Amino acid sequence: MFPPRLQRPIKQALFLAVLLTMIMVLHSGTCAQEARVSPALYSPCSMSRAQGSADYAGMTGHPGLSGHEGMMAAITVVLEREFGLVVSRTKLHLYPNREAFQSNLVHIVRFDPVYAREVAGWAVAVAAPEMVLANEEALKRISRSERIRVLAHELVHTVQYGLSSGRRSTSDQWLREGFADWIAYRVLEYLEPGSPTLRASDLARIKDTVHRQSCAPLSKMVTLEGFGDARSRYGGTATYGGCLLAVDLLVKRYGIESVLNYFSLFGQSDDRIGNFKAAFGQDLAAFEKDFQSYRATSLQ
């Protein structure tokens, strides 16, 4: 957050300079490392949501922020400034169609060919360490708001890789997906002026879907494959929605810092049960029971 003594025009000018600098670096293939901020300086509580949205409103419509790279730059600034996340040298790889996207999920991300074909059938983008791969044809078909949400979601996945020393690790997939969505919806509140009503509508729809439909237990969505099976069986909205709401419960109880600590612990250990207990002070099995009760009572 800028010091209170600075006036809004100066704040916007300085912030625009940061964004344009990041865009120039993105065109050379990397995100600007100079824009690093400290979580202690820019915690989510450092400014009100209304204040933050007003500050970003004048930036997202600037011609220099057009295109997917500009969108990535704007999202990166929000992730770092508002949530204290470190987005390091992330490259955006755009592929013209589903076939090219699927091929590179095999060659770059090292997906099994069968699984790559399945993912390419429904995914718009996929994250790997320090990169986001996207089907440009599918990306162009969705709304601007949804593009922001998708790219923010994938950038959070790159942060998760960074926290665990660049490894995929054994962190639970439901927590990976839920946290990526939890942050992505909040990024929209900063980058889309007047969007809180829309976001509230989206979240109400997710809660309604999760309440009405059966969802896989969290214990069945530990691995990437298990998560994919749940999505195939229960549908994307219910599956991602259940993960988002589980993470929302975690954040309400323990805060964002505990979630980030959870992913960091995998840099030293793949003990997923022990890491959950160390990060949140609660057994994973006990939390799942709490979440089942939460779904049954709070989403009606």
Tell me the C-alpha to C-alpha distance, in Å, between residue 40 and each of 45, 80, 83, 163, 187: 10, 11, 10, 17, 19
pLDDT average, residue stretch 215-219: 92
Instruction: Please name each of the domains of the chain with its CATH number.
Output: 172-300 (1.10.390)
Residue 123 burial (C-beta neighbours within 10 Å; 0-12, 13-18, 19+): buried
* Cβ neighbours around 204 below 10 Å, total: 10
- Tell me the β-bridge partners of 132: 92, 127
Question: Comparing C-alpha atoms, which of 78, 88, 9 is closest to residue 46?
Answer: 78
Distance CA(270)–CA(164), nearest Å, equals 10
Tens of pLDDT, residue by residue over 29-50, are 333 322 232 222 223 333 344 4
Helix 236-254, helix 256-265: angle, nearest 10: 110
For 221, the token pair is 């969505």
Query: Strands of 91-95's sheet, edge to edge?
Result: 91-95, 131-135, 125-128
Using pLDDT thresholds of 50, 70 and 90, give the confidence band for residue 86: very high
Distance CA(147)–CA(221), nearest Å, equals 25
pLDDT of residue 298: 67
For 241, the token pair is 């929605």
Mean pLDDT of the chain: 81
pLDDT of residue 157: 97
pLDDT of residue 196: 64
Tell me if 15 sits within 8 A of 57, measured CB to CB.
no
- Average the pLDDT over each of 62-71, 108-117, 201-210 and give the range with the smallest value: 62-71
Alpha carbon 189 to its chain's center = 13
- Percent of the chain past pLDDT 70, that is, above it, reads 75
- Which of the two residues, 198 and 162, has the higher pLDDT score? 162
Tell me if 98 sits within 8 A of 134, measured CB to CB.
no
pLDDT of residue 140: 94
Using pLDDT thresholds of 50, 70 and 90, give the confidence band for residue 150: very high
For 248, the token pair is 């929302």
pLDDT of residue 198: 64
pLDDT of residue 192: 85
- pLDDT above 70: residue 284: yes
For 5, the token pair is 């003594």
pLDDT average, residue stretch 283-298: 89
- pLDDT above 60: residue 93: yes
pLDDT of residue 208: 83
Distance CA(218)–CA(222), nearest Å, equals 7
- Name the residue type at position 272: R
Distance CA(127)–CA(93), nearest Å, equals 10
